[in-house]
């Protein structure tokens, strides 16, 4: 009954932490492609190949359902995977859906025409690849009208977080917020469109100001996954134990993950 969590590196641990607390009886298998992080500067074909390889490894670990806890993979590879690659007995879900549901206050299965929503000016902070894909804007347009989205590619932030350089990460976040505010001075809401960014949520909030509502994905994904498993219990795979897998150096990744989650984490070579 294991569920897979895929990420390009360590950012997906924010999602893992939330879903583990929400669903304590479900064993989760986490796959971090740390050898190839960051994905945000790669092209779509490269991201697709790396993502599918990681997802196949999670299938081998007994996970019939995999969450792409990576916005770049969700933006650049998910649609292609679902349309042309995914076997009928497997499911791969992205992290955009719960976010857009929260922003539009509209369930994903609601196929009524797009309508106006309360929030009109949205700041999107994401990796360069996610921004260039325009996947968030495309999915939002199916459900809402009259929403102005200003996207800021946040180069360097993931690298700084992965390297544990908190001072550099904070400086980069403030710089990216300032750059966005020059184009959209008064956003009503901000989307942290990368699962690394919750680690910098307080910095984003402080730079944006208290009047801006910051949407963070981890808790939204946890609630969405709980609802999905209630409706599709057959997607709980055959895996029986929690695991942490990485393409990187297992000891180095374990040390960094332990710092991130503030509890002992032991990664194994994927």
Domain count, the chain: 2
**Whether residue 157 is found in the same domain as residue 195:** yes
Report, as an integer, the average pLDDT of 5-25: 93
Unique residue bearing structure tokens 């924010």: 14
Q: Is 194 a catalytic residue?
A: yes
Tokens encoding 60: 């081998």
Q: Which of 185, 201, 217 is the last residue of a domain?
A: 217
**Whether residue 22 is found in the same domain as residue 132:** no
**Whether residue 150 is found in the same domain as residue 205:** yes
Q: Which of 201, 217, 233 is the last residue of a domain?
A: 217
Query: Of 63, 154, 194, 216, which residue is the catalytic one?
Result: 194
**Whether residue 49 is found in the same domain as residue 10:** yes
* Domain range enclosing 149: 97-217
**Whether residue 122 is found in the same domain as residue 198:** yes
What tens digit of pLDDT does each residue of 231-263 get? 888 888 788 889 999 999 999 999 989 988 889
**Whether residue 52 is found in the same domain as residue 18:** yes
Contacts of 138 (CB under 8 A, 6+ apart): none
**Whether residue 196 is found in the same domain as residue 229:** no
Higher pLDDT, 41 or 131: 131
User: Can you tell me the distance from the alpha carbon of 197 to that of 70, in angstroms, rounded to the nearest whole number?
Assistant: 11
Tokens encoding 104: 């539009």
**Whether residue 211 is found in the same domain as residue 108:** yes
The CATH code of the domain that includes 114 is: 3.40.50.1860
**Whether residue 107 is found in the same domain as residue 194:** yes
pLDDT at residue 1 is higher than 80: no
Query: Of 63, 70, 154, 216, which residue is the catalytic one?
Result: 70
Q: Is 154 a catalytic residue?
A: no
pLDDT bin (cut points 50, 70, 90) of residue 111 is: low
pLDDT bin (cut points 50, 70, 90) of residue 81 is: very high
What tens digit of pLDDT does each residue of 169-208 get? 999 999 999 999 999 999 999 999 888 898 899 999 999 9
**Whether residue 174 is found in the same domain as residue 250:** no
**Whether residue 201 is found in the same domain as residue 117:** yes
Mutual orientation of helices 13-22 and 250-261 as an angle, nearest 10°?
A: 60
Q: Which of 217, 234, 254 is the last residue of a domain?
A: 217
148-153: strand order across its sheet: 148-153, 121-126, 189-192, 213-215
Beta bridge pairs of residue 191: 124, 215
User: Can you tell me the distance from the alpha carbon of 266 to that of 197, in angstroms, rounded to the nearest whole number?
Assistant: 23
**Whether residue 60 is found in the same domain as residue 166:** no
In angstroms, the first-to-last Cα distance of the chain is: 20
């Amino acid at each position: 009954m294991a569920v897979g969590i895929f990420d390009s590196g360590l950012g997906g641990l924010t999602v893992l932490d939330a879903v583990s607390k929400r669903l304590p009886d479900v064993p989760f298998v986490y796959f971090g492609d740390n050898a190839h992080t960051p994905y945000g500067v790669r092209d779509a074909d490269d991201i697709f190949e790396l993502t599918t390889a990681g997802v196949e490894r999670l299938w081998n670990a007994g996970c019939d359902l995999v969450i792409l806890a990576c916005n770049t993979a969700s933006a650049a590879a998910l649609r292609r995977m679902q349309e042309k690659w995914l076997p009928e007995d497997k499911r791969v879900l992205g992290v955009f859906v719960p976010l857009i549901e929260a922003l539009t206050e509209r369930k994903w299965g609601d196929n009524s025409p797009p309508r106006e929503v309360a929030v009109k000016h949205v700041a999107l902070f994401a990796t360069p690849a996610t921004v260039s894909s325009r996947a968030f804007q495309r999915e939002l347009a199916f459900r809402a009208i009259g929403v102005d989205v200003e996207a800021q590619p946040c180069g360097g932030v993931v690298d700084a977080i992965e390297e544990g350089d908190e001072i550099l990460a904070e400086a980069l976040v403030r710089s990216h917020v300032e750059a966005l505010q020059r184009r959209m001075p008064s956003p009503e809401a901000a989307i942290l469109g990368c699962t690394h960014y919750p680690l910098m949520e307080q910095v984003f909030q402080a730079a944006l100001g208290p009047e801006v509502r910051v949407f963070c994905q981890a808790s939204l994904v946890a609630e969405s996954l709980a609802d999905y498993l209630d409706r599709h219990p057959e997607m709980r795979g055959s895996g029986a134990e929690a695991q942490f897998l990485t393409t990187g150096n297992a000891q180095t990744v374990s040390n960094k993950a332990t710092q991130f989650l503030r509890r002992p984490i032991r990664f194994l070579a994927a």
